[in-house]
Amino acid sequence: MSFQLAVFYAFALILVFAALRVITARNPVHASLFLVLAFVTAAGLWMLLEAEFLAITLVLVYVGAVMVLFLFVVMMLDINIDRIREGYWEYLVPALVVAGTMLAEMTLLLVGRSLRLEGMPAPAAKAETYSNTKELGRLIYTQYVYAFEIASVILLVAIVAAIALTMRRRKDSKYQDPARQVVVRRADRVRIVAMKSEKPAAPAAPASEQAAP
């Protein structure tokens, strides 16, 4: 068994384990941390396929940003763990149906004769100067430019819609205008008064205090 194959099986085992724990872990924070592990392992598998741009972007976007915000929300939930378990058996049957359908579809694709995956030659080794990122960038901005731009516009619409739906400006909330804050000068806030220094009045005879200790 070659080294790469050994690495593949190790990563695949970890990935399957992490994915299983995502749905079986009792604590939602643990479940989302296992999801992070699954993402990182999947990135490792993509790296084995020499898709380094996709692999690193998966870590950068999903692990570095999306899952952080996800954890942010999950941590603030006050979840009673027993209550989550309640509908377990009710959901089991539909879940098994969905899983069975997906398994059947994948089997049709991968095992069926129509695609002839077993007869497919391995892709040719790339030259030393081949840059995955550069090639992807070139394709996105030339051949697939319309699809790419439309996808980004859809995402932009989703962002604007999400903000528009959730933003409520309360009438009684107080906020500062930074532009007005920075033009403030000392004279607007403080008045410096010239006055003569005064001698403090002589303290009263501390006879009683001396007697105290």
Closest to 53 in 3D by CA, of 136, 151, 143, 147:
136
Among 94, 178, 200, 206, binds another protein (CB under 8 A): 178
Residue 162 binding another protein, by CB under 8 A: no
Among 24, 133, 143, 152, binds another protein (CB under 8 A): 133
**Interface region with another protein, contact rule CB under 8 A, candidates 6-14, 52-60, 88-96, 155-163:** 52-60
Q: CA 213 to CA 202: how far, in whole Å?
A: 23
Number of residues located near another protein, criterion CB under 8 A: 22
In whole angstroms, how close is the CB of 52 to another protein at the nearest point?
Answer: 5
SS3 sequence, the chain? CCHHHHHHHHHHHHHHHHHHHHHHCCCHHHHHHHHHHHHHHHHHHHHHCCCHHHHHHHHHHHHHHHHHHHHHHHHHCCCCHHHHCCCHHHHHHHHHHHHHHHHHHHHHHHHCCCCCHHHCCCCCCCCCCCCHHHHHHHHHHCCCHHHHHHHHHHHHHHHHHHHHHHCCCCCCCCCCCHHHHHCCCHHHHCCCCCCCCCCCCCCCCCHHHHHCC
In whole angstroms, how close is the CB of 41 to another protein at the nearest point?
Answer: 14
Residue 57 binding another protein, by CB under 8 A: yes
Among 64, 95, 100, 150, binds another protein (CB under 8 A): 64
Residue 75 binding another protein, by CB under 8 A: yes
Residue 29 binding another protein, by CB under 8 A: yes
Residue 60 binding another protein, by CB under 8 A: yes
Residue 110 binding another protein, by CB under 8 A: no
Instruction: CB nearer to another protein: give 19 or 52.
Output: 52
List interacting residues with another protein (CB under 8 A).
29, 33, 36, 52-53, 56-57, 59-60, 63-65, 68-69, 71-72, 75-76, 131-133, 178
